[in-house]
Amino acid sequence: MLRDIPYSTQPLVLSYIGVRRAIGISGLLLPIILGPIGWLVFGIRFQDNLSSYYYTPLRDVFVGTIFAIGIFLFCYRGNDWVENWTANLGCLFAIGIALFPLDPHSDPLQQRSIVGYLHTLCGGAFFLTLSFYSLYHFPSSTSMNRELEPHEQQRAFVYRTSGIVILVSMFAMGVYLFLLPPDWKQLANHYHLLFWLEWIAVWAFAAAWLTKGRTIVADIAIDLLAMTQAQLIKQISPPVHQVDE
């Protein structure tokens, strides 16, 4: 891709891609550091949700990472004003998550303060913003927004799958919060259901941004996906027989 643009603008493109990678890596590492590493290294038990780590020794990691993602989104500039405003809103909601903590030992829908409700509102809006990026901005095929990338079809599949996974995770969170009976919700809390659903949603958005950032691991995965798809098409397609004249 860099060979197709003037040499003088290549540092700007690398910086632009670097922001995408930073957002993706931040989302990839956050649940790992809070969950497994927090448990194995710091002896912190798994929390009911990611936001509850605010009240653990890993508070600075949680707040710092979310705040960093917000700043990265603010610095990110899209191809049109819609994408710019999407990034700005994502920044606003991420900073809201970091600055307005969830009330300790509480259900996200049953907060004891306005600050807690603001956290719940910012969290839901943040995930919606990320799903909008995956479903609309990244796979966009308009002439203004299109980027020349190898295996565009496979990349669009990853982006849309990421957005769908985020929405499905949010739907499952909604079922957990609104529809589960109290005894079922207590059982779900025992297995930290909300934590795992948030982990899935965060990793889904991280996969989209890492793919858009052209990271090596993501590019290898895209190449393998393209090769697999090509082999399947080759096996399914009937052989073409030449007719002798």
User: What DSSP string runs through 106-141?
Assistant: -BTTB-SSHHHHHHHHHHHHHHHHHHHIIIIITT--
Higher pLDDT, 232 or 76: 76
CA nearest neighbour of 113 among 99, 103, 98? 103
* Domain tally, the chain: 1
Asked, for residue 44, whether it belongs to a domain, the answer is: yes
Q: Is residue 241 part of a domain?
A: no
Tell me which amino acid residue 64 is.
G
Q: State the pLDDT at residue 217.
A: 81
Q: Which domain holds residue 166?
A: 2-140+149-231
> Which pLDDT band, with edges at 50, 70 and 90, does 223 fall under?
confident
Residue 244 counted as domain residue? no
| pLDDT value at residue 78 | 76
- Within a domain: residue 114? yes
Range in 65-74, 158-167, 187-196, 223-232 the model is least confident about: 223-232
| String of DSSP letters for the chain | -GGGS-GGGHHHHHHHHHHHHHHHHHHHHHHHIIIIIHHHHH-PPPPSSGGGGGGSTTHHHHHHHHHHHHHHHHH---SSHHHHHHHHHHHHHHHHHHHSPPPTT-BTTB-SSHHHHHHHHHHHHHHHHHHHIIIIITT--STTT----TTHHHHHHHHHHHHHHHHHHHHHHHIIIIIS-HHHHHHHHHTTHHHHHHHHHHHHHHHHHHHHTT-HHHHHHHHHHHHHHHHHHHHHSPPPPPPP-
CB 70 within 8 A of CB 98: yes
Average pLDDT over residues 109-134: 94
- pLDDT at site 10: 44
Of 77-81, 112-116, 170-174, 236-240, give the lowest mean pLDDT range: 236-240
Does any domain span residue 123?
A: yes
- 220 vs 211, residue with greater confidence: 211
- The torsion angle over the Cα atoms of residues 55, 125, 208 and 76, rounded to 10 degrees, is -90
Q: Which residues pair with 31 in a beta bridge?
A: none
CA quadruple 40, 44, 49, 52: dihedral sign: negative
Q: Is the pLDDT of residue 229 over 60?
A: yes
Region 42-48 average pLDDT: 94
Domain membership of residue 239 (yes or no) is no
Counting residues of the chain whose pLDDT is more than 90, the rounded percentage is: 57
- Residues 57-109 pLDDT 10s: 999 999 999 999 999 999 887 778 888 899 999 999 999 999 999 999 888 88
Any domain includes 176: yes
- Per the CB < 8 A criterion, the answer to whether 121 and 94 are in contact is no
CA pair distance 133, 155, nearest whole angstrom: 13
Q: 19 pLDDT band (50/70/90 cuts)? A: confident
Task: Report how far residue 227's alpha carbon sits from residue 233's, in angstroms, rounded to the nearest whole number.
Answer: 10
Residue with token string 């589960």: 180
